[in-house]
Every structure is written in structure tokens, then in C-alpha cells.
Amino acid sequence: MSLLPTRISILAAEFNKSIIDTMISEAQKTAREAGITDIRVIKVAGCYEIPLIAELELSQSDTGIVVALGYIERGETLHGEVMGNVVHQALVQLQLKHRKPVGIGIIGPGATEEQAQARKVDYAQAAVRASLKNWSLLQGSQKKS
């Protein structure tokens, strides 16, 4: 088994284009630096839509990792808090179901635009690195079985 996944799928919410475009670019760069050559970028409407497409991607045999990128901004109601909780729970459940890593690079919920701008690079890079680390750990545990 390879220490690198065949494909990494980056799922990015289309809201807040200036933030998300940078996040996509940084995630791709980090994946390429790690040696990943097959990188699929899929833009979805928003963070709430990421889990459905993550399910589809994780069910593909050639997709080893999914990275979810987005920004759930601070609003006047608790809508973002609820959405963030639902999305994060769904993504964790999907990685457990498929036994494939999901890197979560979603800023917020409740972040201001200033906070998101300051975190966009680090969150994207960390999501890729964490998922690659988990991929490596999973490969090591499968070799021992």
C-alpha cells in the first residue's frame, strides 16, 4: 500500500470567494508539496452542502482523502452555530464510516471576516496535513493486520 493516497478531493464552499480561493490554492499547494498529483477540486454552494458531496467522494475507491474548506461567518442569529455543528458532526461520521480521513478546514462558526482572513492559509494547510497524517497512520495499521 502506498503511503500517499491516489487522490485527494478538496471540497470548497463558494461563499466568501476571496477567502475560499486562497484556501483552495493553499490546500492544493500543500498537497502537491506532499507528493499528491491527483487533486480534485469541487466547489459546492456552501458549507452545509459539503457532507453530501464528501459522502460521494469518499465512496469512490480512488479517493483517499477529502478536505473540506469553508468559512461560516458570524451572524445575527444562531444559524451559523447550528450549521457548523451539523456539518462538523457529519464529516466526522463520514470519515468513521468510510475509514478515510477528512481534513476539516472550515473557519468558524462565528468568525469575523478579519479572523477568517487571518486564518485562511493556516486552516487550509492544516486540514491537508492532518488528513495526510491520518492517512499514513491508517496505512500503517492496515499493514499490521
Which residues belong to the active site?
A: 79
Q: Which amino acid is at 137?
A: L
Question: Rounded distance, CA 123 to CA 7, Å?
Answer: 20
The runs of H, that is alpha helices, within 3-105 are 17-33, 50-58, 79-98
Whether the bond between 101 and the residue before it is cis, its omega within 30 degrees of 0, is no
CA nearest neighbour of 124 among 3, 37, 6, 13: 13
